[in-house]
């Protein structure tokens, strides 16, 4: 009987916590909303990102942050290619706020724009990879 009481109590506490988390109100200010990146990284480029959303949720990630160059040639996106390294080449297209890059194996990697830039109408902004196993 004690075991059943403990299980019921644990289930009640878990359910209460889950309901509280799901009904947590959105933050009172929008100052924090957006994508935040580490200003400094380790020697290997390891950094940290936080994306705070208006609905009170967030995404946190440890990332490898590399400053490099990119070029566009038709429907190809060339990343890197500084004198010491060869450029990584992939096909790409943009659908609204989604960047879709073609993989060598025929897969597609979708990245959603989470920030915009005033530089130009070329693919700019911060992206977050959303991997898809669906072939296009």
- For residues 31 and 14, state if they share a domain: yes
Range of the domain at 39: 2-64
- For residues 51 and 74, state if they share a domain: no
Q: What is the pLDDT of residue 100?
A: 93
30 vs 122, more confident: 30
Average pLDDT of the segment spanning 22-43: 78
pLDDT digits (tens, 9 = 90+) for 46-61: 999 998 888 899 999 9
**Residue 10 confidence (pLDDT) above 90:** no
Written as six digits, the tokens of 23 are 């009904």
- For residues 88 and 41, state if they share a domain: no
Question: What total of structural domains would you count in the chain?
Answer: 2
Distance of CA 13 to the CA centre of its chain: 32
**Mean pLDDT score across all residues of the chain:** 74
- For residues 54 and 91, state if they share a domain: no
- In the block, residue with structure tokens 């004690």: 2
Count CB-CB contacts under 10 A for residue 132. 12
**Residue 16 confidence (pLDDT) above 70:** no
126 within 8 A of 136, measured Cβ to Cβ: no
Q: What is the pLDDT of residue 132?
A: 39
pLDDT digits (tens, 9 = 90+) for 76-115: 998 887 666 788 889 999 999 899 999 888 899 998 876 5
Task: Please tell me the distance from the alpha carbon of residue 74 to that of residue 12, in angstroms, as a whole number.
Answer: 58
């Amino acid at each position: 009987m004690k075991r059943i009481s403990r299980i019921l109590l644990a289930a009640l506490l878990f359910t209460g916590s889950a309901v509280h988390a799901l009904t947590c109100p959105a933050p009172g200010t929008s100052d924090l909303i957006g994508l935040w990146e580490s200003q400094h990284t380790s020697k290997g480029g390891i950094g940290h990102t936080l994306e705070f959303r208006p609905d009170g949720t967030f995404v946190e990630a440890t990332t490898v942050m590399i400053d490099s160059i990119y070029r566009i040639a038709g429907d190809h996106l060339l990343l890197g290619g500084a004198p010491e390294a060869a450029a990584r080449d992939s096909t790409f297209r943009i659908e609204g706020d989604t960047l879709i890059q073609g993989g060598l194996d025929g897969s597609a990697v979708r990245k959603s724009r989470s920030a915009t830039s005033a530089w130009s109408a070329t693919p700019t902004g911060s992206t977050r990879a959303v991997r898809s196993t669906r072939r296009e």
